[in-house]
């Protein structure tokens, strides 16, 4: 699968889990950002097919990452990978441009389902 993914999470362990899950579903091109500021700096329209971001990160939280990316690219799928699932947070994320949610902990199959749903798998 030639999908290019930008993943942002302040936890190195979580980035490793996400990378392994991506590899398990056939995605080998993943660029890591260790916080929201780095994710925003790394994002360039056309260079990525999908963004995976955590909600709670230093610098800029995932919701601000989503807003900044959405301002540059109206169509790229942005999936929030988080433990934050209450309705108010979900509504806030959708309003910021988040395309979908993946709750931690997740399985490679759950990730594959989200990728397929958004034309990335």
pLDDT tens figures, 4-29: 999 999 999 999 999 999 999 999 99
Give the 3-state secondary structure of residue 56.
coil
What tens digit of pLDDT does each residue of 15-68 get? 999 999 999 999 999 999 999 999 999 999 999 999 999 999 999 999 999 999
Pairing of strands 50-53, 4-8: parallel
Cβ contacts of 44 within 8 Å, gap of 6 or more: 72
Report pLDDT for 1.
53
Q: What is the DSSP letter of 119?
A: T
- The more confidently predicted of residues 86 and 97 is 97
- pTM, two decimals, is 0.95
Count Cα neighbours of 2 within 13 Å in the Cβ-side half-sphere: 1
Longest dimension (CA), the chain: 35
Q: What is the tens place of the pLDDT at every residue in 90-120?
A: 889 999 999 999 999 999 999 999 999 998 8
Which helix (H) or strand (E) covers residue 70, if one does? helix 62-72
CATH homologous superfamily of 4-117 equals Response regulator (3.40.50.2300)
**pLDDT attached to residue 108:** 94
């Amino acid at each position: 699968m030639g999908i290019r993914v930008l993943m942002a999470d302040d936890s190195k362990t979580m980035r490793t889990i996400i990378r392994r899950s991506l590899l398990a579903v056939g995605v080998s091109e993943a660029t890591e950002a260790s916080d929201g500021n780095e994710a925003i700096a790394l994002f360039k329209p056309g260079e990525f097919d999908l963004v995976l971001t955590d909600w709670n990160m230093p610098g800029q939280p995932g919701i601000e990452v989503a807003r900044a990316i959405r301002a540059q690219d109206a169509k790229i799928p942005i999936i929030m990978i988080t433990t934050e699932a209450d309705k108010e947070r979900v509504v806030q994320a959708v309003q910021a441009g988040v395309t979908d949610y993946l709750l931690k902990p997740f399985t490679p199959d759950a990730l594959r389902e989200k990728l397929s749903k958004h034309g990335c798998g």
